[in-house]
Amino acid sequence: MTTVPKLEKATFGAGCFWGVEYQYAKIPGVHSAVSGYAGGKTENPTYEDICNKATGHAEVIEVSFDPTKVTYRTLVEYFFKMHDPTQVNRQGPDIGDQYRSAIFTHSAEQRKVADDVKIGLTLAKVFSRPIATQIEEAPKFWRAEEYHQKYYQLRGKKPYCHLVPFAEEK
C-alpha cells in the first residue's frame, strides 16, 4: 500500500508571481506552486483589483511541499536568493504594494524559521541595505485567475522577472 505524504503549505510574495511560481515548481519536493493574492482587505480580489492598489493584497504563490523531501528552511532560503528583499513595494520595474516582499507563515514553527533566516542574513550583512521582507501570519489565500497559472510554462517563455534563478534549466 502506497502512503501519501502529508503536504505542508508555504506562502511567499517576491514580486511578480509568474517567476516565483516558475522557480518554486521546479524544486524537488514541491508538489505544486499556485499564483494568487494574500494580505489584503478585499474578498475574492481580481488581478485588476490589486493593480488598482486599493485592496492591499500582494501577488504571492502558495506552495504545497513534502517536508520529507524539502524543508521549509530551504524554501525560505531560496526566497531570499531569488529576489531583492531590500526593496520596498517593488521588484525591478514592477512598482506597487502588490509586489512587496513577504513571507506568510502557516505555523509558529514556520514563523521561527523565517525570522531566524532573516536575522541570520541581516547579521551576516548579506545585503547592503536592510531587509524589507514582511513576515506575517498567513491570511486567506485567493487563487489568481487561470491565465496567471503556469504562465511561463504554458507560453514557452523563460522567466525574466527575478534576480537569481535557483532551479536552473537542465
Whole-angstrom distance, CA of residue 113 vs CA of residue 105:
9
- In the numeric block, the cell 499564483 is attached to 35
Which of 16, 38, 70, 76 is catalytic? The answer is: 16
The domain spans of the chain are 8-155
Please name every residue paired with 12 in a beta bridge, in sequence order, or none if there are none: 61, 103
DSSP letter (8 states) at residue 3: P
* pLDDT higher than 80, residue 106: yes
Give residue-wise pLDDT tens across range 112-158.
Answer: 999 999 999 999 999 999 999 999 999 999 998 777 777 667 666 66
Q: Kindly report the number of other CB atoms within 10 A of residue 73's CB atom.
A: 13
Q: Which of 3-7, 16-20, 138-142 is predicted most confidently?
A: 138-142
Whole-angstrom distance, CA of residue 24 vs CA of residue 65:
10
Domain covering 8-155: architecture:
2-Layer Sandwich (3.30)
Rounded to an integer, what is the distance from CA 152 to the centroid of its chain?
16
* Global pTM exceeds 0.85: yes
Active site residue 16: yes
